[in-house]
């Protein structure tokens, strides 16, 4: 990975990747624009709005007037955005708190927030199977979750449970008997959350979570930037977008789901593709408590001022799952709309000097 201090070099590389964006990230079966016009649109975003146009397809820019595009901040992984975010609100040296799940567990234990029960750490080695048996025996349910210490986006998560022939380990693609299972990386082990029955109506196999992105202002107030909810598909036990899940925007004022959900390929749904439950109008249970958790995490993370907080809902209330040091802005804007359309968010981005082009800076003039 190239240093964050060299955005120009990263921009050159991104320019060379424009054909990939054109051929792979546009849902041509839905986009009515001509190939030439889309190519012009991508170049406009790259040179005028100054970021890689990987949000053109997911955010369906072809349906919107160009004047509306400036309300989209673009990917937080892009050179100009990332350079400003790293310098001002997402200091790289503090990411270890969110990226190391063992460290995060220790941090959260002192916050008096409800988190999944923590059994301990599982390491590759001869005693791995023995410890796993003990963890499962100590759990109040029949399942436990194993997460790689440095995992992200749902990658590497495994489920241990009692099967018809004893303990089995389930990955997103395979199921192993305990005797044939080989742990490859250090993991934290947590209880498997039993979610609220109303949420389970969408997808009962996965733990469906809410992502709230928060910003700590220069006055140390917490601003809710965006909200979305993720649901797993089929028999997947994770809800992550990158693992085949779908995500729908949330009205952060009242916790009500918006009309459309999206998958990673940009396909749009008004109902869950498996359960057929309608998204629009569903009110997330105990929404006020969900927001309270997200605010609390941001308040105690004054050293890191833009955080994505993931929360699950149980019958007894929300449970903090984890926090994300680099919440994907494209994903948030796809599901919930452009973040700069919120004047409060815009004003705070101006104060931090996070805006990257003149079109964004003059939005409200």
Asked if 84 and 356 touch (Cβ cutoff 8 Å), the reply is yes
- The reported pLDDT for the residue numbered 329 is 92
Residues 82 and 130 reside in one and the same domain: no
Q: What is the pLDDT of residue 103?
A: 87
Low-confidence ranges of the chain (pLDDT < 70): 1-7, 153-154, 234-244
H helices within 165-240, ranges in order? 197-200
- pTM of the predicted model as reported, rounded to 2 decimal places: 0.91
pLDDT at 33: 95
* Cα distance between residue 275 and residue 169, in whole Å: 25
The parent domain of residue 153 ranges over 118-191
Nearest to residue 207, comparing CAs of 235, 234, 232? Answer: 232
Task: Report pLDDT for 302.
Answer: 92
Regarding whether 246 and 103 lie in a shared domain, the answer is yes
Q: Are residues 78 and 130 in the same domain?
A: no
Q: Give yes or no: residues 104 and 123 share one domain.
A: no
Cβ(12)–Cβ(19) under 8 Å? no
CATH number at residue 225: 3.30.470.20
**Do 221 and 305 have their domain in common?**
yes
> What's the structural domain count of the chain?
3
Residue 99 Ramachandran class (φ > 0 left, ψ -120 to 50 alpha, else beta):
alpha
Residues 125 and 97 in one domain: no
Residue 355 domain-assigned (yes or no): no
First and final CA of the chain: distance in angstroms? 38
Decide if 66 is inside a domain: yes
Which one of 167, 191, 215 terminates a domain? 191
Contacts of 346 (CB under 8 A, 6+ apart): 340, 363, 364
- Residue 166: the pLDDT is 85
CA angle 245, 205, 170 (to 5 degrees): 90
Whether the CB-CB separation of 296 and 303 falls below 8 Å is answered with no
């Amino acid at each position: 990975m190239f240093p964050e201090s060299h955005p120009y070099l990263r921009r050159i590389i991104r320019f060379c990747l424009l054909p990939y964006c054109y051929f792979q990230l546009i849902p041509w079966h839905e986009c009515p624009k001509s190939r030439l016009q889309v190519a012009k649109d991508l170049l406009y975003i790259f040179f005028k709005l100054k970021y890689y146009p990987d949000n053109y397809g997911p955010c369906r820019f072809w349906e919107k007037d160009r004047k509306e595009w400036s309300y989209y901040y673009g990917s937080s992984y892009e050179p100009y955005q990332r350079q400003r975010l790293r310098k001002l609100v997402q200091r790289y040296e503090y990411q270890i708190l969110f990226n190391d799940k063992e460290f995060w567990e220790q941090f959260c234990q002192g916050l008096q927030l409800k988190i999944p029960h923590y059994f301990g750490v599982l390491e590759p080695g001869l005693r791995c199977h023995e410890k796993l048996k003990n963890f499962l025996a100590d759990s109040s349910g029949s399942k436990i979750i194993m997460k790689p210490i440095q995992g992200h986006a749902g990658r590497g998560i495994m489920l241990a449970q009692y099967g018809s022939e004893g303990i089995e380990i389930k990955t997103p693609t395979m199921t192993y008997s305990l005797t044939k299972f080989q742990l490859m990386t250090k993991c934290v082990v947590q209880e498997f959350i039993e979610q609220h029955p109303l949420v389970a109506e969408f997808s009962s196999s996965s733990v469906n979570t809410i992502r709230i992105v928060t910003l700590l202002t220069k006055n140390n107030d917490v601003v809710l930037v965006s909200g979305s909810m993720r649901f797993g598909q089929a028999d997947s036990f994770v809800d992550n977008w990158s693992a085949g899940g779908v995500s729908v925007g949330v009205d952060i004022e009242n916790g009500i789901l918006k009309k459309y959900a999206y998958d990673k390929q940009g396909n749009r749904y008004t109902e869950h593709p498996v359960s057929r439950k309608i998204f629009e109008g569903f009110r997330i249970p105990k929404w006020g408590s969900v927001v309270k958790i997200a605010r609390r995490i941001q308040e105690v993370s004054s050293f890191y001022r833009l955080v994505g907080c993931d929360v699950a809902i149980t019958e007894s209330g929300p449970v903090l799952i984890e926090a994300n040091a680099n919440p994907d802005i494209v994903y948030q804007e796809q599901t919930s709309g452009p973040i700069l359309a919120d004047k409060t968010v815009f004003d705070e981005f101006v104060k931090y000097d996070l805006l990257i082009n003149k079109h964004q800076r003059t939005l409200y003039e």
